[in-house]
Structure 1
Amino acid sequence: MIQVILTGFWLGLVFNAAPGPIFTESLRRGVRGGFRPAFAVQVGSLVGDAAWAILGLAGAAALLTQPQLHIPITLAGCLVLTFLGAQGVYAAVRPPEAEEIQASGASSSPLRGPLVAGALMSLASVWNVAYWGGAGGAVGGALGETAPLNSLLVFFAAFMASSLIWCFVCAWFIAGLRRAASLRWTRIIEGGAGASLVVMAALLAVQAFR
């Protein structure tokens, strides 16, 4: 059982620490707002992580790799990334007066909430589908296809525990970067992160139609 715990914990760290859209969005929001928005994006992403992990452990995620479902999921992810990326680019180049107006007004879109943004990005992530639904996925390779239910539950708990720890580590790192960055570099990082999300969306769209 110790091996199952260590396997789930290690795979959770590898899965979450890999650079990707979630980290990019956490960086975009955290370099502007600090620890709390970066942490909220990371915690929100755990919703999708948990959903895909449960499907993977239940053996159902492989069905989502079929083109009939895989392509719509990919396109939904592209839309989310494009919207958030464009939002980041705009936030980096808009004048200070526009920032004050937005800060004083209510948010008009649920995607502007970091918690919701993280959840939507994770749920619509094609990388999650590939990770949990691929042939001979990580869970099957680590536990075997006939693993008992208690081993799967322990694996899931260890995976989610390491994912939650990474939320704190990632947000702490981004908050430190924010304290060290000047206003100019804050805008550069924010705009670069937004542009990166748009590029990721474009690459995903190209792959979806190949």
Structure 2
Amino acid sequence: MIALFVSAFVLGLIFNAAPGAVFAETIRQGVRGGYRAALLVQIGSLAGDALWAVLGLVGVGLLLQAESLRVPVGIAGTAYLLWLSIDSWRASSVEFGGQVDVSKVQKGALRAGVMLSVTNPQNVAYWASLGSAMGAVGVHSPTAAHYAIFFAGFMVSSFVWAFICAALVARVFRNASAGWAKLTYRACAIALLLLALSSLRDLVSASSAQNKKVSVVVHRGTV
């Protein structure tokens, strides 16, 4: 059980530390609202992680149809990434001229973290492949206890990473000048746009592959 917990903890760190939309949004909010805003993005993302984890672990059937689920989730995620990209670019021109409403920033940071995690199609793929992850550490017939240990390890590592990431962002950007903050916002806008385009490309590729499979099945059925 200890080995399973450690494996889940390490996998959670890898999953959360990988550069992506949540990390870009953590930087964007951290520049504007400091450590607490950056932390709230990370904490908000834990809600989405927990949601997908529970769906995957209890086996409600949704993740057994990962391909059909990934498309609507991917579309929602792409649309939200595009909105954040536009909002970040727009804010880079007007955000730093006056006093920042910290409470408003923090509420927006928490909401963004939740939305980005819930609409992240990578979460679908990750938890749909849970069986492979279990098998890699020698658990070929997982029980409820195994799932609980895996979930605990993943969420503990995600919680730890939230504080580490927020602290790093706050330390790097806490003394940022207005000019540097604007540049950071625009860099985040570009990063979010590229992530949205990448997500869209993956959706198109997945849809094309699925259509080919359907065509092959139909063709075989008519032969």
Is TM more than 0.5 here? yes
Counterpart pick for 2:168 among 173, 176, 194: 173
- Give percent identity, aligned residues only: 37
1:124 aligns with 2:124: no
Q: How far 1:150 moved relative to its partner?
A: 1.4
Q: Which residue of 1 aligns with 2:88?
A: 88
Counterpart pick for 2:199 among 179, 182, 204: 204
AA at the equivalent of 1:44 = G
Q: Which runs of 5+ in 2 are unaligned?
A: 206-223
Distance of aligned partners of 1:7 and 1:183 in 2 relative to their CA distance in 1, 3 Å threshold: same
Q: How far 1:44 moved relative to its partner?
A: 0.3
1:1-210 pair list within 5 angstroms: 1-59=1-59, 60=61, 62-67=63-68, 69-94=69-94, 96-97=96-97, 99-100=98-99, 103=100, 113-134=108-129, 137-142=132-137, 144-210=139-205
Question: Does the aligned pair in 1 maintain the 2:28–2:184 contact within 8 Å?
Answer: yes
Q: Which runs of 5+ in 1 are unaligned?
A: none
TM-score (norm 2): 0.81
Q: Write out per-residue CA displacement over residues 29-55 of structure 1, whole angstroms, 9 at most, x where no aligned residue.
A: 102211011100000000110111122
Report the more deviating stretch, 1-10 or 179-188. Answer: 179-188
Give the paired residue count. Answer: 203
CA distance in 1, matches of 2:167, 2:5: 25
CA distance in 2, matches of 1:56, 1:34: 34
CA distance in 2, matches of 1:134, 1:192: 33
Aligned-residue Cα RMSD (Å) equals 2.4
AA at the equivalent of 2:87 = Q
CA distance in 2, matches of 1:63, 1:167: 29
AA at the equivalent of 2:94 = R
TM-score (norm 1): 0.86
CA distance in 2, matches of 1:10, 1:207: 26
Distance of aligned partners of 1:137 and 1:120 in 2 relative to their CA distance in 1, 3 Å threshold: farther
Question: Does the aligned pair in 1 maintain the 2:33–2:106 contact within 8 Å?
Answer: no
Distance of aligned partners of 1:165 and 1:123 in 2 relative to their CA distance in 1, 3 Å threshold: same
AA at the equivalent of 1:63 = L
* Secondary structure class of the residue paired with 2:189: helix
Q: How far 1:151 moved relative to its partner?
A: 2.0
CA distance in 2, matches of 1:96, 1:15: 33
